[in-house]
Amino acid sequence: MSRNRRPITIVSLNLLPALLMVPLLVQPSSSLGSGRLIHSAVANSGMSTAFYVSPAGSDAADGSASSPWATIQHAVNAARAGTMIHVAPGTYVEAIKTTASGSSDARITLLSDIKWGAKIIAPNSDSAWENRGDYVDIEGFDITGDGRLGILNLGSFVRIMGNHVHNIPAPCTSSGGAGINNADYSASDDDIIGNLVHDIGSTLSVKCGTVQGIYHANLRGHIMNNIVYHSWSAGICLWHAANNVVIANNLVFQNGAAGILIGAGDAPGGVVASDMVVVNNMILNNPASTWGAGQAIVESGLTGTDNKYVNNLIWKNKQGIVLQNGVTSVGTIAADPLLIDYQADGSGNYHLSSSSPAIGAGTPTGAPPIDFDGRIRPTTAPPDVGPYQTGAGQAVWPWNY
């Protein structure tokens, strides 16, 4: 089901000087139901067509496994509901724009066959990858560019999973910037799962609250198992029309202003950030800047009284969990997580050591069924805090929900 949208209108906002949000205005979407996880990451139950892309291919070919196309854009131009696009390892110098929509039983899937093997470098583009379709999966790509956004999503029921989004310069303007941005206020049910996001605002050297790692601005959805560091402002930020969102089992460290920020208060108006479930996150060493307030988790603007903050681990942030309206956190763990090799620059091993207090310390409420490596989390015991699950077997790709 496809929809036409008018172009994004950028407006200038002057609020929350230290934590200004990305002010993206878009055409309202048509009404959609309240779909949730879990689906297969690689299979559709409807009719399906497979296309193939390789740096050694040609856009004059037929897109088959034996005669692949050369560019991802050529493949997505041919995509329809149920299409699976396999992308071989290699470098693709192109900015991508996906506009076709799948359906609930015939999603459109773009898959890097080797996780992070397909490397997208997008020159001279505001976003490296812009998606406007519904029921689209973007999985396993290495994405960088020279603009404001890594992945810009304007669709509903979209899943952005297992990507490596990094080194996005994102200049400090009122338009803001982000590694991954679910930006359409009237879209819904978008998931950001298991991505590595870092160095967003990589060229900045001034105080700037408009550049975030992961940004989510609409109804429902899941932000889970992500690792986010070196974002110039907040690691994970919910604003505008975010409501009823699950934020679970992320690792957020060394971001410029704060770890996780939740709130509302400007466009589209009339939204209170409520019914949030924030569980099992690990938030360390924020801020990385001299100007950030450094809250591990912070509510700001209009927030509800029913938000839940459960079993989050915080360590060496400037401030702890700062909430509003009498909301309190439950089961917070204030302890060194004892990771195998914590390094602030992202070069470490962030799996849990055998003595970590995060082992078995999570709540199953809102926890993802797999970890960052695609390994299955236990269903008969409490999960670990953070993106990695101990004792969960071999890493797998592609993931299967």
Is residue 394 pLDDT above 90, yes or no?
no
Listed in sequence order, the DSSP H helices in 161-297 are none
Confidence of residue 34 (pLDDT cuts 50, 70, 90): very low
pLDDT at residue 37, as a whole number: 41
Tens-place pLDDT, residues 353-393: 999 999 999 999 999 999 999 999 988 899 999 999 998 78
pLDDT at residue 22, as a whole number: 37
Tell me what percent of the residues of the chain surpass a pLDDT of 90: 83
| Contact (CB, 8 A) for 61 and 85 | no
Task: Say which range, 18-27, 211-220, 289-298, has the weakest mean pLDDT.
Answer: 18-27
Helix or strand (DSSP H, E) at 224: strand 222-224
Q: What are 171's two structure tokens?
A: 């200049």
For residue 269, how many other CB atoms are within 10 A of its CB?
A: 11
Helix or strand (DSSP H, E) at 73: helix 72-77
382 burial type by CB count under 10 A (0-12 exposed, 13-18 middle, 19+ buried): middle
Helix or strand (DSSP H, E) at 263: strand 258-264
Mean per-residue pLDDT, 193-211: 94
pLDDT at residue 43, as a whole number: 43
CATH class of 9-348: mainly beta
Is residue 27 pLDDT above 60, yes or no?
no
Q: CA-based Rg of the chain, rounded to a whole angstrom?
A: 20
**Strand 9-10 to strand 24-25: parallel, antiparallel, or no bridges (unpaired)?**
antiparallel
Q: Quick one: residue 117, left, alpha or beta (phi over 0 = left, psi -120 to 50 = alpha)? A: alpha
Confidence of residue 47 (pLDDT cuts 50, 70, 90): low
Listed in sequence order, the DSSP H helices in 296-388 are none
For the chain, the average pLDDT equals 89
DSSP labels, 242-255: -BS-EEES-EEES-
- Contacts of 33 by beta carbon, 8 Å cutoff, 6+ apart: none
85 burial type by CB count under 10 A (0-12 exposed, 13-18 middle, 19+ buried): buried
Q: Tokens 């992961």 sit at which residue?
A: 214
388 burial type by CB count under 10 A (0-12 exposed, 13-18 middle, 19+ buried): buried
Helix or strand (DSSP H, E) at 314: strand 313-315
In the chain, the largest separation of any two C-alpha atoms, in whole Å, equals 62
The larger pLDDT score, comparing residue 237 to residue 266, is at 237
Q: Measure the CA angle with vertex 253, ends 38 and 115; round to 5°.
A: 45
Domain locations along the chain: 9-348
What φ, ψ does residue 179 adopt, rounded to 5°?
-75, -50
Amino acid sitting at position 214: I
Tens-place pLDDT, residues 84-110: 999 999 999 999 999 999 999 999 999
Q: What is the pTM of this model?
A: 0.90
Angstrom distance (rounded) from CA 383 to CA 399:
19
Q: Tokens 């956004």 sit at which residue?
A: 149
For residue 293, how many other CB atoms are within 10 A of its CB?
A: 18
Confidence of residue 400 (pLDDT cuts 50, 70, 90): confident
Q: What are 331's two structure tokens?
A: 């089961």
pLDDT at residue 15, as a whole number: 32
206 burial type by CB count under 10 A (0-12 exposed, 13-18 middle, 19+ buried): exposed
Tens-place pLDDT, residues 161-198: 999 999 999 988 888 899 999 999 999 999 999 999 99
The larger pLDDT score, comparing residue 221 to residue 34, is at 221
What φ, ψ does residue 76 adopt, rounded to 5°?
-70, -25
Angstrom distance (rounded) from CA 179 to CA 235:
10
| Contact (CB, 8 A) for 208 and 184 | no
Tens-place pLDDT, residues 140-162: 999 999 999 999 999 999 999 99
Q: What are 37's two structure tokens?
A: 């996880």
| Contact (CB, 8 A) for 200 and 223 | no
Confidence of residue 21 (pLDDT cuts 50, 70, 90): very low
Is residue 258 pLDDT above 90, yes or no?
yes
Is residue 273 pLDDT above 50, yes or no?
yes
pLDDT at residue 45, as a whole number: 42
Torsion, Cα 383 151 64 58, to 10 degrees, reads -140
Q: Measure the CA angle with vertex 353, ends 228 and 312; round to 5°.
A: 50
Is residue 30 pLDDT above 70, yes or no?
no
